[in-house]
Amino acid sequence: MAVYLDSWHKFEESMGGIRPVLTGTAEEMRTQFSGLISFLATQRTRTWDTLTVKDENVNGIVIRIYIPNSFEGEYAPVGVFYHSGGFVVGDLDSEDDFCRTVSADANIAVISVDYRLSPEHKAPAQLGDALAIFEWIYKNAKRIGVCSSRMFTIGTSAGGALALAVTRKVVLGQSTVPADTVKGIFALCPLVVHPLNVPTEYKTLYTSFEEHKEGVPIIDKACLLEMYNCAGLQPNDKNYYPVLDTESLKRFPPTHIVTCDNDPLRDDGKILSSALSASGVAVDTKHFDGLPHCFWIIPSLPESEVFLQDLIQGVKEAVKVASISIN
């Protein structure tokens, strides 16, 4: 049985003893997720007055641009962010606080992408949107106020899969930007493998999907399988599961990975870390015991602040390295 930190139990008590988990159809999960995000918004205590934030429509894809005011007249490093939600739920608002915090505290621009969702839009629609916006940012960097030579991909859960997938397209030359454009990846509780097609060499690492198949917060096995089905993800699709393409991994930039103990996707992160390390890629992995998938969306948890400060430090270090490389 999964063991949780006291702070998590206190959060569940604040919800009347309810353990939040997404269940049912896509529409039902969207309603549940919206309700959870609305509840969490009542816990917000921070405001951000050092950022300029605006939305822009790029060929039908809406993005939200966050730029610290300190960069007025300069070009800011930029993290292109892909939100969580299993390709089924989520939007620009669901992780708006996260984007504001990273932008303000790490002192970088963040551009969040409202990619199309499933089941209305099957794969590879999400990856197509994610890559198209990355390329658009590179082409329009000066107009936006960002630096095209200091670009990073950042993603949570399914968004982490997109951050990895976009990077793979770029490093393989399957995009309109130079192959070395992505200077670093931040994959937070990422979706990395399909449970029906775990590479043989990693099967002994892959236990969390069954270990946390039910009774865990946010997502469980049934939820994930429904999301995979909605998206039409094929188990052998290298575009969405880059660890199936070991040759491309050798070209990946330094990668920061976050995993959570009580998460069906915990071992996805472990497999990613192992595969990248075996390919000679610099990997920094942070693991959080006693906590579920993407726990940091809950601002009242003290561990959320620990996660954020660690991530922000990682972003600052990545920006520093990228800045040195272009000088």
Determine the pLDDT at residue 242: 94
Q: Give kind and range of the element (H or E) at residue 14.
A: helix 6-14
The tokens for 266 are: 């915990």
- ω into residue 119 within 30 of 0, thus cis? yes
pTM of the model: 0.97
How many other C-beta atoms are found inside a 10 Å radius of the C-beta of residue 324? 8
In this predicted structure, what is the pLDDT of residue 44?
83
Domains, the chain, ordered by start = 6-326 (3.40.50.1820)
pLDDT the model gives residue 46: 85
Question: From CA 229, how far away is CA 256, in angstroms rounded?
Answer: 28
Is 243 within 8 Å of 283 (Cβ atoms)?
A: no
**Calpha distance 102→296 (Å, rounded):** 13
DSSP string for residues in 154-207: EEETHHHHHHHHHHHHHHTT-SSS-TT-EEEEEEES-----TT---GGGGGG--
List, by residue number, the catalytic residues: 157, 263, 293
Amino acid 31 reads T
Tell me, rounded to whole angstroms, the distance of Cα 264 from its chain centroid. Answer: 16
Beta-strand runs (E) in 214-307: 255-262, 283-292
pLDDT at 327: 55
Mind listing the pLDDT tens digit of every residue in the chain (327 residues)? 799 999 999 999 999 999 999 999 999 999 999 999 999 998 888 889 999 999 999 999 999 999 999 998 899 999 999 999 999 999 999 999 999 999 999 999 999 999 999 999 999 999 999 999 999 999 999 999 999 999 999 999 999 999 999 999 999 999 999 999 999 999 999 999 999 999 999 999 999 999 999 999 999 999 999 999 999 999 999 999 999 999 999 999 999 999 999 999 999 999 999 999 999 999 999 999 999 999 999 999 999 999 999 999 999 999 999 988 665
Beta carbons within 10 angstroms of residue 204's beta carbon: 9
How far is 308 from 14, CA to CA, in rounded Å?
Answer: 22
